Every structure is written in structure tokens, then in C-alpha cells.
Amino acid sequence: MKLKDMVYVLRSKNAGVWHITIDIIFKDRNYYEKAKQKLNKKLFCDIYGKKDVDYFECDSINTLKISFLRDEAAGSVNDTDCLGANFYIPLLEIEI
């Protein structure tokens, strides 16, 4: 099953000028527990080409949250996604 089929919400957004945050809110506890077996800090570092990300498992609400530094400040000349709204796209097709 693909990640996009297991979630109510899969979104990315700015968390200030220098940070991106990604929220993954699962449809139920079973999907959440299954996804935690595959999704982890290292996987997100690899997907986004980062040395480190902040990775949070929010068990009480079946949610994963990932935050990391942007390569460019939001709205700067070299920024390709001012609102940070497209960073979730590489996650859609992950097979869980």
C-alpha cells in the first residue's frame, strides 16, 4: 500500500523563513504503526538530501512530523517553493 492511501493529511509548509515542516496524519492506528516500521529519520534524510532532520512520532494522534532546514530562505532569489507546499510530493508513492 502506498503512503498516500494510508493518510488523511500529508502536507508540507514553511515553519518560518528557514524551515520546512511535514505533517503525516494517518487514517488509523494500524496504518500508523505499520508506517513507523518503514519511515524513519534516516529515510527522510536520504529523501531530502539532509545530514539531519527533526523527526517526531506523535503516538496519541497517529501522526509523524518532520522538520528540516531549507536550502534557501523562503522568498529568496533562488527559492523554488516560497510556501514550502511541494516538499511532501516525494512521499506520496512510498510503498509501506
Residue 25 lies in a domain: yes
Q: Domain containing 45: what range?
A: 3-91
Considering the domain boundaries, does residue 59 fall inside one? yes
Reported as a single tens digit per residue, the pLDDT across 63-92 is 999 999 999 999 999 988 999 999 999 999
Residues 6+ apart with CB under 8 A from 77: none
Q: What percent of the chain has pLDDT over 90?
A: 93
* Domain presence at residue 96: no
Q: Which residues, 6 or more positions from 34, have their beta carbon under 8 angstroms from its beta carbon?
A: 6, 96
- Inside any domain, residue 63: yes
Domain count, the chain: 1
